[in-house]
Amino acid sequence: MSLAQFEGCLLGLALGDALGAPHEGGIVERLVWRLIGATVQGQMRWTDDTQMALDIAESLAVQGALDADDLARRFAASYRWSRGYGPGVARLLRRVARGADWREANRSVFPEGSFGNGGAMRAPVIGLYYAHRFAELADAARLSASITHAHPLGQEGAVLVASATALALGTRNPLEIVRAAAAHCALQPFVLRLRTAEQWLQEGSEPDASSVARHFGNGIAASTSCVTAVYIALRFMDRPFVDMQRFCVDVGGDVDTIGAMAGAVWGAANGVAALPQHQLAQLEQGGRLKAAAAALYAGVA
């Protein structure tokens, strides 16, 4: 476990997010992103995926522990429509900003809670923070997701992505990672997809992007995007980041989020120096991301 891996994870997440954002959503979302996808200085903007990951990292650094109330306040304060938040979470966070308790707000849009992938896309930070306390990781991932995602499927995605990130800090064996991460998952949509992912990784078979999308999904739900991302990160672990990113674009659908989760796991395994430096130089707020990674690392090293 090294600082370079923590930086690789956060910057890999942000890069996967920013590079995927132009490909996410329908025609309207893509047109909007063409207008607002760059800063005034011309740097690539990232979206809600990175903002919420930063909120967790900065909260952990200040509080020295996972404080759900502090996190809910930060999520609400950071909310900007221009970061492309999920529609349900946007409404929920506006309620929290007006004073609602997140414990009630998280069922105010969908009575059973959100099963979107918003709890999972920010979970790599939980993976970094709890890697050395692995027994506590699943509960922490669930708690961090539950602020906005009360649905068990939304939380299961967070557990999977946090586990895969933590494991990638310690081993480069894809099979070891997929098996150990799958051991934390009990819900059928995850278990079945993870079984296929394990089989493909074991066989060394390399289905094309449309086949990956068909088997694992490329949607905005946690159950149709988290296994997709973890599988892609593990399959491309020993290959260049740009090849993995191109594959995410080909898989299509929720490209920024699949790219963010895959980028985080890949970055945790390979470290910041392995990321494409010319693209990192074009990424907004790289200094803030590095500082957040350093503060997180200082908190666990």
Q: Is 47 in the site for Mg ion (CB under 5 A)?
A: yes
C-alpha to C-alpha distance for 210 and 271, rounded to whole angstroms: 29
Q: Are 138 and 242 in contact (CB under 8 A)?
A: no
3-state SS class at 290: helix
For residue 83, the minimal CB distance to Mg ion (Å) is 7
Q: Which of 9, 13, 89, 167 binds ligand F2R (CB under 6 A)?
A: 89
Sole binder of ligand F2R in the list 104, 112, 136, 139 (CB under 6 A): 112
Binding mask 16-55 for ligand F2R (x = CB under 6 A): --------xxx--x-----------------xxx------
164 with 172: CB under 8 angstroms? Answer: no
Interface with ligand F2R, residue 83, by CB under 6 A = no
> Quick check: 116 binds ligand F2R (CB under 6 A)?
yes
**Binding at 110: pick from ligand F2R, Mg ion, none (beta carbon under 5-8 Å per type):** ligand F2R
C-alpha 145 chain-centroid distance:
11
CB of 225 to ligand F2R, least distance (A): 8
DSSP annotation of 65 reads S
Of 173 and 285, nearer to ligand F2R (C-beta) is: 285
Q: CA dist 286 to 43, 129, 292, Å?
A: 10, 20, 10
DSSP assigned state of 42? S
Which among 236, 224, 243 has a CA at the least distance from the CA of 174?
A: 236
By CB under 5 A, name the binding residues for Mg ion: 47-49, 84, 254, 256-257
